Structure 1
């Protein structure tokens, strides 16, 4: 009886789960009968090196019937490892039940020739995820979620479903943008669009995607793409939002942007303002008097600050705004709601205003696409007053200042929804540009017993003030104090707050001034390289953080993102215990993408380091990245500076930054003595006993070319040692500029000492080779082979160590060339020295007082 009750309860649960799914426009049905034939080759496999996440896509099939408003999806995943069981054993489908129906056709597992059917309506979880709620957007999208049971390595997971219905807001006019490659490899790919021959659909391809094949099937026009073994596509890091290197295709029925504008005009049609909105308009007019500028500013502030951002974008309201009266009544709305409300208020006082569509991702690159209304994800307002143009984003709160200080993000291009206006895009421009001005002032004590101080004054104007105002409003003063404190703790160690954070808001000029005050508990750090000397390492971290990260050397296509617009004026002043001098050069870099300037100055005991950084575009193109990498390396050398102080004498101790590092010179002499001793011992080694040789022939053939290399090698190595900065104190004192915080400084010091030893060893060995070659010694071939092998090994190990210490993702071109040259030299000359008869006949002279070996 207990089992029967349990069975009945389970049946009831399954019934209600199935009924619940049906209520959300979900059902299980056979596959549609309008599909065009397609036979994939399921025996093919991708390149194993291209497989990630433990599975690959054996089949990706998508067929879209425009007239039926339906899209059929069919996929087979091949599980190849345990990771694939974790990552590929779930099926999720998003759909909007307001206008879409989800029909599932099959969920199968194929294992060793057997087919296991897992499709059951009761096992689906229909969830309303609402991932965009964090951005205050409620879309009403549901997710059908299915977890497969008993998935094993080697299984094939096959599923198919159809989503039927389209958003009525688009008036059944076809547009689509889809990809022909993914982040996982696809073995069999099929995409087809089935439409009436009466539809005039245009296509545009991106990133070398092919145009479709066309054919007539059952009186319908079919546009088809069929491909096999499509490799995965990887996205590079730190790219601008608009960059997309995936092959894709756009399809649209719209012939011009004017058609899109006319569509937007129909969507945004609203009735005349109601009583409540008319009362608010009258209030603005009364408060502004005869000044339409004041009226406009009041309207902007009201919509930005008093109408909160919240979007209920279900069904056609994904693109259709609510009426301005409704928005005023409920006091919330999304971007299109707020934009339409503001435009309506402005028009009521004779100010030209219209909604404008922008895309926050593709930005200005939206002009490269064919006309389509679904390319945009944001709405703003374009207005004109007294022949001045204004671009206003009603979703930005806390903007202050007058109309000339209104700024918008870098949207670049906007489509103004006015059928009587321009038939196309307009540049989205700012009427004013802001700046970030930072001043860090250090006061250093004359000894370790006293503490130092740091005051930071940050001034933000225009859009930067808007951002700060918003950030301060959404976080506590205590949280901000802790965030700022931890930033300087990471840079300077023991730092404590001296006085609370001071924030001064100057709304009339749209400025915010933030003042921080800290105590440096022990600014002077002991310097182990000099007796009685201590140092303070100034770090221009705010500029370092503003610069984009290093790009990889092998980055060929992807541009590097730049924060734009951005302007930083950064001053660091250090108040020293006595008068000071700074031995630092100026730096000036400017090109069409960015500019960086550094100017040091000294006035008595006050040292000033002044930096400016400004961007002129939102990216650095791939073709310019090598230049940026070189510029960045130069800039990094100016982002820190060591100040030395002798606490016993109470004077500056910056002499180590000039002249030689005698410790390193002594090490060099020691290494030279050791290696010279071993070279002299090797010089006495002989292979052939004395008196067993004939007079050797003259140097000839390829040995002439080798001889040139042998005699020039000591000069090249010695010249490199002279030019090396390893003997200069300044280089050793600036090592911490180059290393990352994750690595100990002694690692880099050890590397440099090792490089010094290896270069001196190679110099001594090259001099020995000159002697052996000139005397045609029998040990020359062996010594030369050793030299070539060492040269290649040292180059490879040195570059590997540098890449590890500096956390480089790629190899510098110069270093690669150096390794290639040493490899080619070894590959050519080592076999020659081992097999050449001329070598065996030429180098036969033993040492006079031989040591048999």
Structure 2
């Protein structure tokens, strides 16, 4: 009896699962009979280097029957590794049960010649995901999930299904856009569109995609693409939203944009206003009097701020707006709902207004496509009043100011839904342009142990004020304060708030002013290059963040995204304890895409760094990127500056960081031992054979001057090593304060260790030269030539490396002095050592062992 009850329960569960699936327009059926024949070559394999995620697509087949309103999908995944078991063993299909039906035909696993059927209705999980709820959009889409069991490496997973049904909003007129490449390699690719010969379907290809082959099959027109071994493709980072490097095809029945406008007009038909809408129109007219501009502004503010954004886009309401009366009563709607309500309110007072379609991704490049209504993802309003044009986005809240200050994002092109108006696109323009004005004021103390201060004043106008107002309204004051504080902590270390964030909103002029006040706990840092000196590293990070990033290596031919429109006026003032000059030049760069200017100035003890940055387009074209990379490197040199202050407090630090770095001293001893060993070996090398030497003459002529230099050189090198801060423990602890964050401290450590080794080597080398010179050894000339050449090369490389790491645009005086001295010494003495007869006569003595022999 217990077993019978259990069996009944299992049957009921299976039936419930199947019934639940049926209720969601899901079923298991045979493949449709209308498919056109296709025979893939399943023995081919892709390039193994092209496979990612542990599997590749052995077969991708998609057949679309326009008259049946059905799309058949057939896929085979080849699992090649354990990663493929994780990434390729789940099947998901999205569909809208309001107007679509999902029919599954097969789910198979092929393993070692065996076929395992896993298709069971009870194993499907059909869930309503609503991924767009975070954007306040409820679409009604469902996802059918199927998780395969017992998937192993080497398996082939084959599945096929058909989605039947079309959104009735499109009136059974055909449009489609599909890709001919994917992020995984595809061995066999088939795409076909089956339609009545009476349909006039036009195609346009992008990014070298091929046009279809055409043929008649069973009285139907078939458009077909068949390809093999399609390599995987990758999207390019940091490109504008309209850029797409994948090959794709667009198909449409619409002949021109006028047909799309007529469709939009039918979809957006407005019934006569109801009582609630009439009352609202009367209210606005009464409050505005005869001032239509005031009426228009009231209507805009009402729809933007009082009608909350929420879209229920199920079925045909994905594109059909709800009636303005309904939106007014429920006080919420999506972009098309709010746009239709606003256009209706404006028309009611004799103001020209119509909905306009835009696409937030393709933007102005939507004009490159064939006419189709499903190319757009957003609706706004186009209005005219007293000869002026206005573009209004009803989904943007907290816009302030008068009509001339209205702004919209960079949509670029809009299709105005007016059947008697323009039959093509209209440029979307802003009536007002805004700006971001930032002023950072640093007050630095006169002592390294004292605190400094930072005051930041930010002024935002027009669209930038709208953005800030929206951000401030959707987050707490505390969250904003912490965000701003952490920004400056990351740049300047220990920073604490001095007073709460001050916000001043000036609605009439659409301006927002933010004021931040901070305490810099320890603005001065110990200078690692010179004792009794401290420094402050000013960073123009707000401008650095506004500049587009780039990948210099292996960047494909693609445009680089620019923030547009964007205008930044950025001033940094540093109030020093005492007056002093700055070594900084101006920077002026302007081209068709952006302009950046930098002007430094000094007045008494206040240093001012003034930057402006403005963009003219939303991208930098691929042909200009190499120029931008060069200019960006130059710009980076102006985005930071070291301010120095000499102190009288002796050592550059105190506490446990003082003293010698014994690890460095140990390295110095090690290097000295190694170089001494090599020096001793070299000292025993002779160029002259035994018995061939003659007693050399006394030192004379120019060799007297050389002798002075040879004997003084070890003393100078040793004196420099003793005074160097490289042996100071504090210097090594402060390395992270010595360079900008863009450079790894390890690079600087490697440079310092290399310098130490070179200096020790030069010291040992100079002592060897003293010995060789005193003994008039035959190896002295060649050794001296090597020493002079190495000294110049070392100084040159050292200066270049220091300037790169410390991001200086001009070399330090001391470094240039040493480089020039080493160059002059090499230029004079190397030719002399090579050509002088006195040198050849004087340095002839072999090693003592050679003489004994």
Offset, 1:690: 7.7
Aligned to 2:91: 91
Does residue 261 (structure 1) correspond to residue 261 (structure 2)? The answer is: yes
Distance in 2, matches of 1:803 and 1:92, equals 52
Per-residue Cα deviation, 1:244-271 (whole angstroms, up to 9, x for no partner): 0000000001110111111111111111
Range with bigger deviation, 639-648 or 463-472: 639-648
Residues 530 and 688 of structure 1: CA distance in aligned 2, closer, same or farther (over 3 Å) = closer
Helix, strand or coil at the partner of 2:126: strand
Aligned to 2:26: 26
Distance in 2, matches of 1:641 and 1:3, equals 83
Distance in 2, matches of 1:276 and 1:129, equals 35
Q: Do 1:451 and 1:521's aligned partners in 2 also have CA atoms closer than 8 Å?
A: yes
Residues 35 and 575 of structure 1: CA distance in aligned 2, closer, same or farther (over 3 Å) = same
Aligned to 1:159: 159
Offset, 1:3: 3.5
Residues 673 and 615 of structure 1: CA distance in aligned 2, closer, same or farther (over 3 Å) = farther
Helix, strand or coil at the partner of 1:326: helix
Aligned to 2:147: 147
Distance in 2, matches of 1:414 and 1:17, equals 47
Aligned to 2:76: 76
Does residue 391 (structure 1) correspond to residue 391 (structure 2)? The answer is: yes
Does residue 480 (structure 1) correspond to residue 480 (structure 2)? The answer is: yes
Q: Do 1:346 and 1:353's aligned partners in 2 also have CA atoms closer than 8 Å?
A: yes
Mapping 1:552-563, distance limit 5 Å = 552-563=552-563
Helix, strand or coil at the partner of 1:597: strand
Helix, strand or coil at the partner of 1:58: strand
Per-residue Cα deviation, 1:1-34 (whole angstroms, up to 9, x for no partner): 4333333222211110100000010000000000
Q: Do 2:687 and 2:846's aligned partners in 1 also have CA atoms closer than 8 Å?
A: no
Helix, strand or coil at the partner of 1:6: helix
Distance in 2, matches of 1:643 and 1:157, equals 65
Residues 734 and 564 of structure 1: CA distance in aligned 2, closer, same or farther (over 3 Å) = farther
Helix, strand or coil at the partner of 1:442: strand
Helix, strand or coil at the partner of 1:534: strand
Aligned to 1:436: 436
Aligned to 1:364: 364
Residues 759 and 158 of structure 1: CA distance in aligned 2, closer, same or farther (over 3 Å) = farther
Q: Do 1:381 and 1:394's aligned partners in 2 also have CA atoms closer than 8 Å?
A: yes
Distance in 1, matches of 2:741 and 2:36, equals 58
Aligned to 1:743: 744
Residues 425 and 219 of structure 1: CA distance in aligned 2, closer, same or farther (over 3 Å) = same
Residues 849 and 394 of structure 1: CA distance in aligned 2, closer, same or farther (over 3 Å) = same
Q: Do 1:17 and 1:122's aligned partners in 2 also have CA atoms closer than 8 Å?
A: yes
Per-residue Cα deviation, 1:430-481 (whole angstroms, up to 9, x for no partner): 0011011011111111113431111111100000000000000000001111
Aligned to 1:103: 103
Distance in 2, matches of 1:144 and 1:742, equals 49
Aligned to 2:827: none
Residues 532 and 736 of structure 1: CA distance in aligned 2, closer, same or farther (over 3 Å) = closer
The count of aligned residue pairs is: 743
Does residue 497 (structure 1) correspond to residue 501 (structure 2)? The answer is: no
Q: Do 2:527 and 2:738's aligned partners in 1 also have CA atoms closer than 8 Å?
A: no
**What 5-or-longer segments of structure 1 have no aligned partner?**
653-666, 693-727, 769-776, 807-846
Residues 626 and 222 of structure 1: CA distance in aligned 2, closer, same or farther (over 3 Å) = same
Offset, 1:673: 14
Does residue 38 (structure 1) correspond to residue 38 (structure 2)? The answer is: yes
Per-residue Cα deviation, 1:703-751 (whole angstroms, up to 9, x for no partner): xxxxxxxxxxxxxxxxxxxxxxxxx99xx9999786536832x532523
Q: Do 1:303 and 1:342's aligned partners in 2 also have CA atoms closer than 8 Å?
A: yes
Offset, 1:689: 7.1
Per-residue Cα deviation, 1:368-413 (whole angstroms, up to 9, x for no partner): 0000000000000000001100000000000000000000000000
Does residue 460 (structure 1) correspond to residue 454 (structure 2)? The answer is: no
Aligned to 1:583: 583
Offset, 1:419: 1.1
Distance in 2, matches of 1:550 and 1:136, equals 34
Helix, strand or coil at the partner of 1:176: strand
Q: Do 1:743 and 1:805's aligned partners in 2 also have CA atoms closer than 8 Å?
A: no
Helix, strand or coil at the partner of 1:418: coil
Per-residue Cα deviation, 1:97-149 (whole angstroms, up to 9, x for no partner): 00000000000000000000000000000100000000000000000010000
Aligned to 1:404: 404
- TM-score (structure 1 length as normaliser): 0.81
Distance in 2, matches of 1:417 and 1:761, equals 80
Residues 451 and 761 of structure 1: CA distance in aligned 2, closer, same or farther (over 3 Å) = closer
Aligned to 1:130: 130
Q: Do 1:641 and 1:734's aligned partners in 2 also have CA atoms closer than 8 Å?
A: no
Helix, strand or coil at the partner of 2:224: strand
Offset, 1:805: 13
Range with bigger deviation, 562-571 or 8-17: 8-17
Aligned to 1:191: 191
Offset, 1:648: 2.4
Helix, strand or coil at the partner of 2:110: strand
Distance in 2, matches of 1:752 and 1:428, equals 57
Aligned to 1:336: 336
Aligned to 1:216: 216
Residues 235 and 684 of structure 1: CA distance in aligned 2, closer, same or farther (over 3 Å) = farther
- TM-score (structure 2 length as normaliser): 0.81
Residues 414 and 691 of structure 1: CA distance in aligned 2, closer, same or farther (over 3 Å) = farther
Q: Do 2:738 and 2:806's aligned partners in 1 also have CA atoms closer than 8 Å?
A: no
Does residue 427 (structure 1) correspond to residue 427 (structure 2)? The answer is: yes
Distance in 1, matches of 2:587 and 2:191, equals 55
Residues 77 and 63 of structure 1: CA distance in aligned 2, closer, same or farther (over 3 Å) = same
Distance in 2, matches of 1:481 and 1:576, equals 27
Aligned to 2:48: 48
Per-residue Cα deviation, 1:18-67 (whole angstroms, up to 9, x for no partner): 00000010000000000000010111111111111110000000000000
Helix, strand or coil at the partner of 1:523: coil
Helix, strand or coil at the partner of 1:269: coil
Residues 848 and 529 of structure 1: CA distance in aligned 2, closer, same or farther (over 3 Å) = closer
Helix, strand or coil at the partner of 2:447: coil
Aligned to 1:274: 274
Range with bigger deviation, 632-641 or 201-210: 632-641
Distance in 2, matches of 1:297 and 1:566, equals 26
Q: Do 1:639 and 1:737's aligned partners in 2 also have CA atoms closer than 8 Å?
A: no
Offset, 1:168: 0.6
Q: Do 1:555 and 1:622's aligned partners in 2 also have CA atoms closer than 8 Å?
A: no
Residues 370 and 575 of structure 1: CA distance in aligned 2, closer, same or farther (over 3 Å) = same
Helix, strand or coil at the partner of 1:337: helix
Helix, strand or coil at the partner of 2:215: strand
Distance in 2, matches of 1:469 and 1:12, equals 56
Residues 529 and 16 of structure 1: CA distance in aligned 2, closer, same or farther (over 3 Å) = same
Aligned to 2:625: 625
Mapping 1:678-827, distance limit 5 Å = 739-740=740-741, 743-744=744-745, 747-751=747-751, 754=754
Distance in 2, matches of 1:124 and 1:687, equals 88
Distance in 2, matches of 1:259 and 1:740, equals 56
Compute the RMSD of aligned alpha carbons.
3.8
Helix, strand or coil at the partner of 1:320: coil
Helix, strand or coil at the partner of 1:624: helix
Aligned to 2:567: 567
Distance in 2, matches of 1:167 and 1:804, equals 60
Residues 682 and 219 of structure 1: CA distance in aligned 2, closer, same or farther (over 3 Å) = farther
**What 5-or-longer segments of structure 2 have no aligned partner?**
653-666, 693-723, 726-731, 770-778, 808-843
Residues 446 and 262 of structure 1: CA distance in aligned 2, closer, same or farther (over 3 Å) = same
Aligned to 1:229: 229
Per-residue Cα deviation, 1:794-817 (whole angstroms, up to 9, x for no partner): x9xx99x999999xxxxxxxxxxx
Aligned to 2:506: 506
Residues 688 and 604 of structure 1: CA distance in aligned 2, closer, same or farther (over 3 Å) = closer
Moved over 4 A (4+): 670-692, 732-739, 755-762, 801-806, 847-852
Helix, strand or coil at the partner of 2:71: strand
Aligned to 1:826: none
Does residue 471 (structure 1) correspond to residue 471 (structure 2)? The answer is: yes
Q: Do 2:570 and 2:612's aligned partners in 1 also have CA atoms closer than 8 Å?
A: yes
Q: Do 2:528 and 2:735's aligned partners in 1 also have CA atoms closer than 8 Å?
A: no
Mapping 1:525-604, distance limit 5 Å = 525-604=525-604
